[in-house]
Amino acid sequence: MTDCRNCRRDTDLYLCALCQRELHTTLDELPWLLVQLDITVGRQDKLNLGIAGGANPNPSPINLGAMELARNIRTTLGTIVRDLCENVGQAPPDRSWTTPWMAEWLSRHHTAIAATDSAGDTMREIHNTRDALIRAINRNLRCYVGPCTTVRGHDRRGRDIECGHDLYANRDNLDERIQCPRCKTWLYPREQLMETIHRRDLLPESHLLETLDSLGEPVSRVRFYAWLRDGRIKPRGYVHAGRIVPRQIQRGDARVFSLTAARRLRVADQPETVHP
């Protein structure tokens, strides 16, 4: 047994099971974020709707800050991949390895990362990379409003079968209709968000954090995992075959947490205002 290099729990490897799951989740997010960064580099992204201070009459066709970040991330991930390739006995990456490909390779080998003495430092580098990507592409305008509630049919017992596709909208335009990519129904994001809050208190971790952010009550992953380590918030079940069950049945079943409990913890953690 040794100490987890991230949270100091006892573990057989250099990352405990909880931190390995967190690392895997973060790595799974990177390929999509890296593609969005490429879009931002060319200033083609529609997530950034404007620049403070007014439009530049001669805008640059390239986002120089995002381009520099892309270079730095390629260097960071390339170093991690090369070091890990040496440990697992695989040929190091060459120029044909794109940055998203590196992220996907690392996701497949996250257990190998956990077996290295530098696992804690690697995990922090990957977290910092994810956070820098999110800041660069300004995902704050992309608001999670819940699964599509359009009824597409009924089961043998007559119960509604809903579409269930995860929906996102522009935070600044929640009253502007959006179309579900799966069932093609037009919906109002604000109504969809409120329905999600009223109907679904138990949410998977990623959706929980997105819903809190949509409510204007953001909680960072760092704080959330601190709550988990301290036992202040605990899983209420797992998602298996589309249903919430009390115990994990298969590896990969997502944990669900109480939105109400998370909102209360956030309030409890806010510093008290001192009045003169």
- Does residue 57 sit within a domain? no
64-115 pLDDT per residue, tens: 677 788 889 999 998 999 888 888 787 877 777 888 888 989 988 888 898 8
Residue 264 domain boundaries: 200-276
Same domain, 6 and 120: yes
- Does residue 68 sit within a domain? yes
Stated length of the chain: 276
Six token digits for residue 72: 């730095």
Same domain, 211 and 270: yes
- Does residue 173 sit within a domain? yes
Same domain, 8 and 130: yes
Same domain, 20 and 133: yes
Same domain, 116 and 213: no
20-78 pLDDT per residue, tens: 888 888 888 888 888 878 876 765 444 343 333 333 434 444 456 777 888 899 999 98
Same domain, 27 and 150: no
Considering its fold, how many domains does the chain have in total?
A: 3
Same domain, 125 and 172: no
- Does residue 273 sit within a domain? yes
Same domain, 222 and 110: no
Same domain, 230 and 177: no
Same domain, 122 and 225: no
pTM: predicted TM-score of the whole model, two decimal places? 0.47
| Domain end position, chosen among 175, 192, 209 | 192
- Does residue 89 sit within a domain? yes
176-214 pLDDT per residue, tens: 899 998 899 999 988 888 887 777 678 888 888 888 887
Same domain, 151 and 269: no
Same domain, 15 and 115: yes
